[in-house]
Amino acid sequence: MSLRNCPPLDSRIVTSRRALLHGLTVAPITASTIASPWATALASLHQRYEDEPATLVRTKTGRALSRDRYDSAEIALAPIEAGFFAQHVRVTLHQAGAIAKLALCAYLLDIGFPDDWNAAHIQQDIAKALAYANATGFGHDCPDMARLAVILSPYWKWGYPHLIGDPPIDDGGFTPDRVRPLVRALLDRVADGTGHPRPQGFERRQREVQS
């Protein structure tokens, strides 16, 4: 599947984002006081989802949790990239939802969203997590990923066995082969945006996947 509709992360965005993040380590900042365009974007999302406004403050603990979530996402993606579940779209979608949540929460934690806020308000809504990430400089404006995020939300639904007589769940026409590169691109964007190092053996595994 081509990812030509998913633009690469602009290095200028990374630089400006990191400059702003440096300021978030100094004092807590709420949506009402964040410099434009984050203030307007976050306020709009809080209103849309009826969420309690988040107070963004970067801490060493949050950064460590972010690294842990990213590493866990990479570990969980490895079996999918190795070809497991290739014949089972429901299993792939369930796994993809869990991976996407880990990855997006890694980004949100890194930028200063509290872990308990994520747990209370993101839950298993991948579309919401992606919206909050993009509102704070994530820059992953990929139409295919946005559509997949809607299909995945909430991802628990894909983990239940399909019983005879159950109405089919809309999988949006996604197949394991279509899901795999989208989730990989999402994790790549998280790694670029957070600066977290790739897990040990990453390059070797990617060569194996591409061979």
How confident is the model over 84-102, as pLDDT tens digits? Answer: 888 889 999 999 999 999 9
Write the pLDDT tens digit of every residue in 111-122: 999 999 999 999
CB proximity list for 57: less than 8 A, separation 6 or greater: 24, 25, 27, 28, 29, 112, 114
* Amino acid 120: pLDDT: 97
> Which residues are bridge partners to 117 per DSSP?
none
The residue that leads in pLDDT, 125 or 24, is 125
What is the reported pTM? 0.83
Please write the tens of the pLDDT for every residue from 3-18: 555 766 555 555 455 5
Task: Kindly report the backbone phi and psi dihedral angles of residue 134, in degrees, each rounded to the nearest multiple of 5, phi listed first.
Answer: -65, -30
**Using CA atoms, how far apart are residues 22 and 187, in angstroms rounded to an integer?**
23
Instruction: Provide the residue ranges of all domains of the chain, joining segments of one domain with +.
Output: 59-210
Mean pLDDT (the chain, rounded): 85
Cα 94 to Cα 86, 154, 208: the distances in Å are 13, 9, 24
Split at pLDDT 50, 70, 90, the class of 33 is very low
Q: Angle at the Cα of 148 (from 86 to 186), degrees rounded to 5?
A: 85
